[in-house]
Amino acid sequence: MVKDNKVYITCHMAKFTRLPYTVSSHKSSLICEMIHMDIWGSYRVHTHKGYRYILTLVDDCTRTRWVYLLKHKSQALSTFQKFMKFISTQFQATIKVVKSDNLLEFHSDPCQKIFTDIGVLH
């Protein structure tokens, strides 16, 4: 909202469902030790192959990003399992911590069981 050439941040803050994260300068010391992930979508217009969602994965150490296209949100867990295998093979690294913004797909019982079985903190 602009009034008298001033921008009032309160109007924008009132629309937030929760407070924004604080800026952090922390970085993991090992490649792929901590992964941040998020799912974007569903997009109204899908790709010519029917993809409507985007799974983004970010390495906390290098800030390298991987992007996966998904047709359904339910593909997120199997895609993440393939990603963990890729990281293990290509970088000889093990994912220890996964951070997400409370994605319901990753709080399901099957997902939590997989994380527990392989020792990943979520």
- Given a contact cutoff of 8 angstroms between Cβ atoms, the answer to whether 73 and 105 are in contact is yes
The answer to whether position 75 is within a domain reads: yes
The answer to whether position 19 is within a domain reads: no
The answer to whether position 111 is within a domain reads: yes
Residue-level pLDDT, tens digit, the chain, 122 residues: 555 666 555 555 565 566 565 666 677 888 999 999 999 988 889 899 999 999 999 999 999 999 999 999 889 889 999 999 999 999 999 999 988 876 667 777 788 888 888 888 88
Domain span at 82: 28-118
Instruction: Count how many domains the chain has.
Output: 1
The answer to whether position 8 is within a domain reads: no
The answer to whether position 3 is within a domain reads: no
List, in sequence order, the alpha helices (H) in the chain.
Answer: 9-14, 76-91, 109-118
Q: Judge residue 89's burial from the number of C-beta atoms within 10 Å of its C-beta, 0-12 exposed, 13-18 middle, 19 or more buried.
A: exposed
Residue 38 CB contacts under 8 Å (≥ 6 apart), including other chains? 55, 56, 100, 101, 103
86 backbone φψ class: left, alpha, beta (φ>0; ψ -120 to 50): alpha
24-58 pLDDT, tens per residue? Answer: 667 788 899 999 999 998 888 989 999 999 999 99
0.85 exceeded by pTM: no
The answer to whether position 79 is within a domain reads: yes
